[in-house]
Amino acid sequence: MINLERSVKRRAYMERSLKAMGLDFEYIPAVNGKGLSKEERAKLCDLDAIAQHPEWLTPGAIGCSLSHYHIYDKMVKEDVSYALILEDDVDLSAEVPRIIKEIEEHHTEILDRELIFMYVVSREVMRFKKVGRLPIGDGRYIGASANLRRKGASGAYFISKPVAEKMRDIILPVRVSADTWHFFRDEGCYDNIRCILPFCGIPAMFESDIGYLKKGSLKDKVKYVFNSTILLRWVLVAYRKRYWKTWSRWRWV
């Protein structure tokens, strides 16, 4: 479970959730992208890519990519066959322990060439292939993506050591965000992504640490006002829930 040291509430939230489900987990310190020196940025990042897309490759996004890189590297060095990678802002279904067991016992071969997500997001209605979907009980399936572009989210996914090794070897220098999944597919890291459908996880309603809003901008000031009072904070949470509903639409094809 990836967590920034300063994000104490998020860590406590995830610990309570995982312990309540009886799941063992390992805490992985996240990289604080804002704390990177100029020398570290020059070594670890594609500075031209950052200059071209500063609105996407924010310090927070860079730190997120490096955090996932460290997990991939850890899996390879410690010979971890496969893992469920979690960020610290995910609401997990109570079915997750059963789903993990189902994947461990029957579907690990998929992970040799694909990723399996607990949820993904997109501005468009996401399409998944009805043909070849795998039933995993209680009306849920593992479905393959029919179109990988515009699908994002890196909050909860299964990955194998072979795929992690390829990801580790291609992710540096950082030139895309951690969830630019079509880029890593095009680079040969895996064949496709699959997803648990209906989703068995959603983003928790925490404020993002990625920092897509420019500090001091009008939107950033409005967000600060909304976070400063309890009533307005609830309005902001309601907006995030509505946002999730829009970005989580999917259908079988």
pLDDT digits (tens, 9 = 90+) for 100-109: 999 999 999 9
SS3 state at 101: helix
Residue 213, pLDDT > 50, answer no
Q: What is the pTM of this model?
A: 0.86
**pLDDT at residue 79, rounded to an integer:** 98
∠ CA 51-53-58, nearest 5°, is 90
What is the 3 state secondary structure string of 102-125?
A: HHHHHCHHHHHCEEEECCCECCCC
Is residue 33 packed enough to be buried (19+ CB in 10 Å), middle (13-18) or exposed (0-12)?
buried
The span from the CA of 220 to the CA of 245, in Å, is 23
pLDDT digits (tens, 9 = 90+) for 145-159: 998 888 999 999 999
∠ CA 183-51-191, nearest 5°, is 5
Query: Residue 240's pLDDT band (boundaries 50, 70, 90)?
Result: low
pLDDT digits (tens, 9 = 90+) for 159-211: 999 999 999 999 999 999 999 999 999 999 999 999 999 999 988 866 555 55
Q: Please compute Rg for the chain using Cα positions.
A: 18
Q: Which fold has domain 2-252?
A: Spore Coat Polysaccharide Biosynthesis Protein SpsA; Chain A (3.90.550)
Query: Residue 116's pLDDT band (boundaries 50, 70, 90)?
Result: very high
The span from the CA of 244 to the CA of 224, in Å, is 21
Nearest partner of 10 among 94, 90, 66, 71, judged by Cα: 90
The span from the CA of 23 to the CA of 18, in Å, is 5
Q: Are 133 and 141 in contact (CB under 8 A)?
A: yes
Residue 223, pLDDT > 60, answer no
Query: Residue 245's pLDDT band (boundaries 50, 70, 90)?
Result: confident
